[in-house]
Amino acid sequence: MDWNALFPFGYAHYLGGGLIIGCGVALLFLTTGLIGGMSTVFSSTWSFVSRLPYFAQARFRDSRGWRLIYAAGLILGAALWWALGGGDAAYRVTIPWWQLAAGGFIAGFGARMSNGCTSGHGICGMASLQAPSLLAVLTFLATAIATAHLVLALGGR
């Protein structure tokens, strides 16, 4: 297998990012007992502005303060990485905005349907040996692999 083809910019930054994310969610769980899944951060943030019954649930309203701080930390961490020289033109997105929006909608819909996202199930749920999280992660991976092969077969890149 040609690892340079899979990781043309190297793998150290992927490994470093994974370790930082893993340590971050572990620290959150060990110090507070809270699970740092991002799909719930999204829903609890919507509870600030939406009056829909789904977003008015106590689980979203009661946790939105710390979840907003958690999301801000992710954004500030990315900004700090960029400011310290991590940003490179090779990482700039060249995909049209509508494809990004469609992908975001599909991923968000899937996260709602599976009651969590890859950070909640893949990092937190798997670490706590939750069988539903294992099933969710296997479904995420199978769907991603099938989608990637379909896009390539249709001439995408």
Amino acid sitting at position 57: Q
What is each CA distance from 31 to 26, 35, 93, in whole angstroms? 8, 11, 36
* Prediction pTM value: 0.66
Contact between 39 and 120 (Cβ < 8 Å): yes
pLDDT 10s digit of each residue in the chain, 157 long?
677 777 777 888 788 888 888 888 888 888 888 888 788 888 888 888 888 998 889 988 888 888 888 888 888 988 888 888 766 655 677 788 898 889 888 887 878 777 888 778 888 888 788 898 899 889 888 988 898 889 888 887 6
